[in-house]
Structure 1
């Protein structure tokens, strides 16, 4: 494959001018040269007119078509490249993506025929771009990966990093934050030693966003600051773009908001709201208004500004037809009205978000919106089908993207040992950091160990009595009753053919084992949320999807151990009841703060439901109510046959 091409497509024009200037010497060639010059002049005119913004797109497309007709006849490949590049750009601007695909493919075919790596990269990049704009993200990822492979082969670091930036962006859109972070970090390795600070800042931003979504707030802030530092002076800020710098500030506000540092987040967003650059960009202005309204609501659920800010953002996004922005606005308004217990309004905005997500073909947004629709709507059978299809499709795409890039990385590692050198340098830096921090770490570990031992001893003394009873019951059932039943089963099995008796004994044995498992111990310390989430997830299967929302919103460290045990047992009772009786395909468990001292846990499934009068008797949930009453909480059921089952648990956090 050639690693070069002609970079000045107008050399032909220069040649004709030179020939024309010496035509007095070669008088017999005068007519031929004049005709060639006229043809090239008219071709150049068509090309120039195709870029004139004052003309309609149809006219501009006609001019570029005329330009291509002429240069195709003369087989001027360098000019054909320019024509195809311009034509795909025009089709992209009018969102005629199918045509943009066709001419991008023609550009690639010509470049491949000429073994022109630069235009092969450009063609793949265009195919990635227009598939991305058309929300065909899996296809876009593949084309950007192909562009990366060629760029890497010809040692074009900037184009390699540019492709990885786009790939990581797609992974964020698909909710694959771990994969996105890996891809973006690889992109940084290609770009960081080049002058391309715009793409480097973009890669830092993607890493920051991925860490934010994974709740790695310190890393999110670190990479966000790296992106902002690149544009710290007026010249670099202009290179990166003022709009991008303001987007980085908006992300910084979101990080502080997730850390519950609402005052700092509001300060940043208020500053952005008053920025003239933001005000002149309706897309960004609506984004800032929406985020500001949401953060003000998070800070104070009773404030009088949030609703207007959220509504104003929604209005602007409707006016400019910003479908992606409308999803965010409608989700925020859903949460706002859900907290106000205005469920009809909350459902309206949840369904609007769902419609926007379908229009945009955003798989992650479809799943998020359906989580709220399911929580608020009675009959959700159709939505449940869409959820299942979307869930499996998203998982398949993310897995495919990871495999594609993994193969590419492996192939590139075979071609060069640069990655090995980079790893060695990184390991060397890590060793140096360890040496510098070694003394500090020892001190911290010693202090931490002492603190941990004291804390654990205190916890053990506090919860010992609570767990002892359950542990004894579980052990006794497991070691004595269940094993005795098992021995009786073996004895009867060897001496009787009465299968009915054996079946009944086996059922008793299974039930005793279930009782033992349900009363086993669990972590009520710092990992309580993960333990609770793991228990809930264990009830997920191919036929039943479990949605767990905002489990970390509750400050579990402030909840007393005995309350944690009760909450765990109640939710476990609901999940057991669901597994045995509901036939549900979708279950949503939502955790929310209700003020400073109260928490709410909402449970909803789309199962067969049960008559309200039969709840305690047919489903055995009386124990759950008794448990919640023992810690001063409350338990509310809502169910009808054929309309699923809902429950709400309220308890004091402190």
Structure 2
């Protein structure tokens, strides 16, 4: 019993050690450092490594990470899908795409979500599952739109358009291609621009809109960037001319196409289509040699999809010549179409077999045709509904954006309106202020002028006349002659004041009146020189400025006579486009010590000039005379 207990204890002990070891191993495995993110792209871009090696490396990295839900894992999954497809592991690739979609959804990583749907769609396209490919491209497009990645969204619209054409949704195909052109920058993505126009043209041709299709092919030709794409477009255009029974135009295009070097696909298409068109143009023409040559090229180069065209053309040619051969090529056509999962070609092959086979066999083909036709219609309906859903969401987003733009524009217009209103009020207030200020200044000047005139008249009519009467009375009495002389001097000064403030004639004779006023001071040996006064267009000067200039020059002349003892005076008048300039100079006593003392007279002169936005400058450096520079704006 004791031995047994020890054995059990030992067993428990060793079991504990084993479990501890396993846990430690697992723990150590989890602690293994994941390869540095920056080194992974270098390894995966190494061209010396095969896809098998890279796929093994990716799986190892994913295993170490235990599918951590982050962008690095999504990056690794994307690369895994790429190499799986390269190794034609398409079924595995679909499963990896689903894992990538799940993690991208959970982490809300729209960029990798869009890429995952794109890779899944591309995989289904290789598997000839056009509907699933279309649905995944559709999801990819929506996510690229969320990212505002217009270029990738445009590319996916092209992918959708090509698949919709294969699914028989021609209107949807054209709409998707037009959407693609609205998103794509054709300078950056010229290749996809070519594909979009080509898809539009194919859809138009399928709807027998041949002229529209030819125009679209010409647009595709203008965006094609290499000889292979150009050759494809020209062959498609030639086939469109053939479909509208313009065989000569078709033959002319096909014979002008330069076959790209080492491109078996284009070479076979040219040979096959040219032979078919020549036979349609001339029923006596035998195209079998060209047909067989094209068939041989396609078989040798594994161009399985293009074999359908060879089988179809050979079946048509032998239809009235050798029924057995016609049926044989029709059956080959059917098998290849099914292999390529090309539903429309399957239906065309069935049509040929129904017409060529005996009634019993024909009935079986007929049943298959009806079943497949119904199935195709359902697929088309699903594709149309899915496209309508995408279009609705796109239109909804565009409408929302347009509504937002409209609301912003309304806000901007409202802001601009109130800003304009505010600026108008500010400018209006400023204009009103300046107008009232100008009006007030003019009224003030006018009042001063009226006051001066009134005082002058009063001095002349009352004081001067009274002085004259007193002098007359005193002459009749015995009065000191000195008193009479002083009274006479006062009388003359009073008359001068009156003269200096008389009315100014500012009409058409203003220039002559100004000349006369200045010339009246040329007494007692003072010589007055006037320059340019006759060249001035006085009509262009406002009445207000005429009065001010007259009074200013009158003040200068009066000061000259009273204070300067000048022997000569010069006044020069010049006019520019915006200003009238007057230079005054006399040879009198000048300004003592270079200091100008503004008395009432000169102060009034300066105020008058400034009131009309003019300038007045005195030369204080000249001690041998008095100089002044006047400028008045027109």
Contact 2:251/2:274 (8 A) holds in 1: yes
1:264 aligns with 2:283: no
Contact 2:67/2:73 (8 A) holds in 1: no
Contact 1:46/1:66 (8 A) holds in 2: no
Contact 2:190/2:223 (8 A) holds in 1: yes
Structure 1 residues 191 and 48, CA, compared in 2 at 3 Å: closer, same or farther? closer
Structure 1 residues 106 and 245, CA, compared in 2 at 3 Å: closer, same or farther? farther
1:247 aligns with 2:232: yes
Deviation sequence 1:338-377 (CA, Å, 0-9, x none): 14x2111111101110111111121111100000001111
Q: Match for residue 103 of structure 2?
A: 110
Contact 1:160/1:190 (8 A) holds in 2: yes
Q: Give the superposition deviation at 1:113.
A: 2.5
Contact 2:271/2:290 (8 A) holds in 1: yes
- Structure 1 CA distance for aligned equivalents of residues 281 and 76 of structure 2: 55
Alignment of 1:164-243 (within 5 A): 164-191=157-184, 195-231=188-224, 237=225, 241-243=226-228
Contact 1:168/1:179 (8 A) holds in 2: yes
The DSSP-based 3-state class of the residue aligned with 2:88 is coil
Structure 1 residues 77 and 47, CA, compared in 2 at 3 Å: closer, same or farther? farther
Deviation sequence 1:482-535 (CA, Å, 0-9, x none): xxxxxxxxxxxxxxxxxxxxxxxxxxxxxxxxxxxxxxxxxxxxxxxxxxxxxx
Q: Match for residue 61 of structure 1?
A: 55
Structure 1 residues 344 and 401, CA, compared in 2 at 3 Å: closer, same or farther? same
- Structure 2 CA distance for aligned equivalents of residues 146 and 39 of structure 1: 32
User: TM-score scaled to structure 1, two decimals?
Assistant: 0.53
Q: Give the superposition deviation at 1:38.
A: 7.7
Deviation sequence 1:91-138 (CA, Å, 0-9, x none): 222332111111122222222233221111111111111112111111
- Structure 1 CA distance for aligned equivalents of residues 264 and 106 of structure 2: 44
Q: Match for residue 136 of structure 1?
A: 129
- Structure 1 CA distance for aligned equivalents of residues 125 and 371 of structure 2: 21
Q: Match for residue 401 of structure 1?
A: 383
The DSSP-based 3-state class of the residue aligned with 1:417 is helix
Selected match of 2:44 from 44, 47, 50: 47
Q: Match for residue 156 of structure 2?
A: 163
Contact 1:158/1:194 (8 A) holds in 2: no
Deviation sequence 1:181-213 (CA, Å, 0-9, x none): 222222222225773222122111101111112
Q: Which runs of 5+ in 2 are unaligned?
A: 1-31, 407-634
Deviation sequence 1:160-183 (CA, Å, 0-9, x none): 221221111111112222221222
Q: Match for residue 322 of structure 2?
A: 342
- Structure 1 CA distance for aligned equivalents of residues 402 and 66 of structure 2: 50
1:328 aligns with 2:325: no
Selected match of 1:351 from 326, 331, 336: 331
- Structure 2 CA distance for aligned equivalents of residues 94 and 345 of structure 1: 38
Q: Which runs of 5+ in 1 are unaligned?
A: 1-34, 232-236, 425-654
Q: Match for residue 365 of structure 1?
A: 345
Larger RCO of the pair (alpha carbons < 8 Å, separation 6+): 1
Q: Give the superposition deviation at 1:393.
A: 0.8
Q: Give the superposition deviation at 1:219.
A: 0.7
Aligned pair count reads 371
Alignment of 1:384-533 (within 5 A): 384-417=366-399
Structure 1 residues 46 and 194, CA, compared in 2 at 3 Å: closer, same or farther? closer
Structure 1 residues 118 and 194, CA, compared in 2 at 3 Å: closer, same or farther? farther
Contact 1:313/1:329 (8 A) holds in 2: yes
Alignment of 1:113-128 (within 5 A): 113-128=106-121
Which has the larger Rg?
A: 2
Q: Match for residue 288 of structure 1?
A: 270
User: TM-score scaled to structure 2, two decimals?
Assistant: 0.55
- Structure 1 CA distance for aligned equivalents of residues 190 and 112 of structure 2: 23
- Structure 1 CA distance for aligned equivalents of residues 59 and 217 of structure 2: 45
| RMSD (Å), alpha carbons | 2.7
Q: Match for residue 147 of structure 1?
A: 140
Q: Match for residue 536 of structure 1?
A: none
